[in-house]
Structure formats: structure tokens, C-alpha cells
């Protein structure tokens, strides 16, 4: 039976030839990839596929009998399961119709062996580590945002306080300037006051002299008459 015949044999069970071909290709691809990667593919009741390393050795050419050195290589190996062996040997009878009564694989047995288990465990650890790292990153971002907000508020308060202090300082400076200007005005007024008094006195003195002159003139006129 070749691949095409295998596909035809299971086509009716899978609903069509295309679905059967896809299923066969998917199964074979998975087995080949796992075996090449060094994993052991075990199907309970059927058998297992694994990769075997062969060391370098000497062999003989069957045609010439010449001794030839064979390099180190790796080959695939299939080991039949006990159920498969029993059916082939005749210990168990092969059913005439329906599926072959091999033992069903227990839950978790359709794996690639110990290495697959290790890989799954490593994948779980990596996922857990990623989640923990993501949580830590979120916590750090939240802390950074809170710190930034607090710093912003403190800076705003400091700016407001500085503005108030500056305004108060400006008001104090203006008041000082106003007080100084008032003092200067008061001093100038004090200096001007004596001069005004002198002018007033000087104005009064000529007036008195004029009155005296008028009185003298009247007396002289009276005498002449």
C-alpha cells in the first residue's frame, strides 16, 4: 500500500479524499519533524519513532568486498508497539471490520518523549516569566506616572509660591519707592517754605515803605498850603 492507497482507504472515514490526504500529510509531517529534532514520537499500541546516532565505522562493499569507512550519521528507527506485534504475530486476531483494536493512547501519552516534556515545562516557565515581567513593567510604569504626577504638582506649587513671593516683593519695592518719593516731596516742601516766607516778608517791607512815603507826602502838602 502506497500513500495514495492509504488516502483512499481512509477517505470514507474522514469525509472525502482531500480531507484524508490532508490528515495523512499532517501526521507524517509531525512525525518527521519531531524525529529530526531528536524527539521520540510514541503512539501507544502502534509503536514509536526515534532518532538513533551511529558512530563512524568500517564496512565492506558487498559487490567488491572492499573495506570502506562509513562516517558518523543519524538514522530514524521505528519500534512496533506490543499491540501491533501481537496482531502481526497472530497472538491477537485482526477484526474483520471496523478499526484495529489496539490500545487507545492514555491522556498525555501522545507526546514527543522526555524532551517534549522538558520543552513544555520550559515553555510554561518562559510564559510565567513573561507574565511576571509584564506585571513588573506595568507596576514600574504606574510608579513612574505617580512620581511624575507628584513631581509636577510639587513643581506647580513651588512655581505658585515663587510667583506669590515675587509679587509681594514687587509690592514691597513699590511701597518703598512711593515712601521715598513722599519723603523727597516733603523735604522739598520744607525747603520751599522758608523761601516763601522770605518772599512774603520782602513783599510786605516795600508796602510799608510806600505807606510811609505817602504819609510824608501828605504832611508836606499840608505845610505848603
Q: Does residue 142 surpass a pLDDT of 90?
A: no
* Domains of the chain and any CATH numbers: 3-111 (4.10.520.10)
Q: Does residue 122 surpass a pLDDT of 60?
A: no
Nearest to 49 by CA among 29, 64, 63: 29
136 confidence band (pLDDT: 50, 70, 90)? low
Per the model's pLDDT, the better-predicted residue between 120 and 89 turns out to be 89
Instruction: Give the mean pLDDT of 188-208.
Output: 57
At 49, phi and psi to the nearest 5? -115, 135
Nine cell digits for residue 22:
490532508
Q: Does residue 221 surpass a pLDDT of 70?
A: no
Per the model's pLDDT, the better-predicted residue between 189 and 99 turns out to be 99
Q: Does residue 73 surpass a pLDDT of 80?
A: yes
pTM equals 0.44
Quote the pLDDT of residue 132. Answer: 65
Q: Which residue, chain included where needed, has cell 518562559?
A: 126
Quote the pLDDT of residue 176. Answer: 67
Nine cell digits for residue 108:
498525555
Describe the strand order of the beta sheet including 47-54 as a list of residue ranges.
Answer: 41-43, 47-54, 73-80
Nine cell digits for residue 104:
487507545
The DSSP-derived string for 94-114 is: PPSSSS--PPPPPTT-SS--H
95 confidence band (pLDDT: 50, 70, 90)? confident
Quote the pLDDT of residue 94. Answer: 82
Amino acid at each position: 500500500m502506497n500513500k495514495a492507497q492509504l488516502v483512499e482507504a481512509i477517505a470514507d472515514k474522514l469525509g472525502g479524499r482531500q480531507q484524508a490526504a490532508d490528515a495523512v500529510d499532517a501526521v507524517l509531517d509531525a512525525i518527521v519533524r519531531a524525529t529530526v529534532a531528536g524527539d521520540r514520537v510514541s503512539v501507544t499500541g502502534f509503536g514509536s519513532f526515534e532518532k538513533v546516532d551511529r558512530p563512524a565505522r568500517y564496512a565492506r562493499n558487498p559487490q567488491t568486498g572492499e573495506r570502506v569507512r562509513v562516517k558518523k550519521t543519524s538514522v530514524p528507527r521505528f519500534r512496533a508497539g506490543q499491540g501491533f506485534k501481537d496482531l502481526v504475530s497472530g497472538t491477537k486476531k485482526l477484526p474483520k471490520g471496523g478499526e484495529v483494536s489496539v490500545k487507545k493512547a492514555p491522556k498525555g501519552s501522545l507526546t514527543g518523549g522526555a524532551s517534549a516534556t522538558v520543552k513544555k515545562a520550559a515553555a510554561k516557565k518562559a510564559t510565567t516569566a513573561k507574565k511576571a515581567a509584564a506585571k513588573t513593567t506595568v507596576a514600574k510604569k504606574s510608579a513612574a506616572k505617580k512620581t511624575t504626577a507628584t513631581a509636577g504638582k510639587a513643581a506647580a506649587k513651588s512655581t505658585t509660591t515663587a510667583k506669590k513671593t515675587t509679587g509681594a516683593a514687587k509690592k514691597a519695592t513699590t511701597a518703598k519707592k512711593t515712601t521715598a518719593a513722599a519723603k523727597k516731596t516733603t523735604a522739598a516742601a520744607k525747603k520751599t517754605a522758608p523761601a516763601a516766607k522770605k518772599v512774603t516778608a520782602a513783599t510786605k517791607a516795600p508796602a510799608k515803605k510806600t505807606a510811609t512815603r505817602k504819609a510824608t507826602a501828605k504832611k508836606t502838602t499840608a505845610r505848603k498850603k
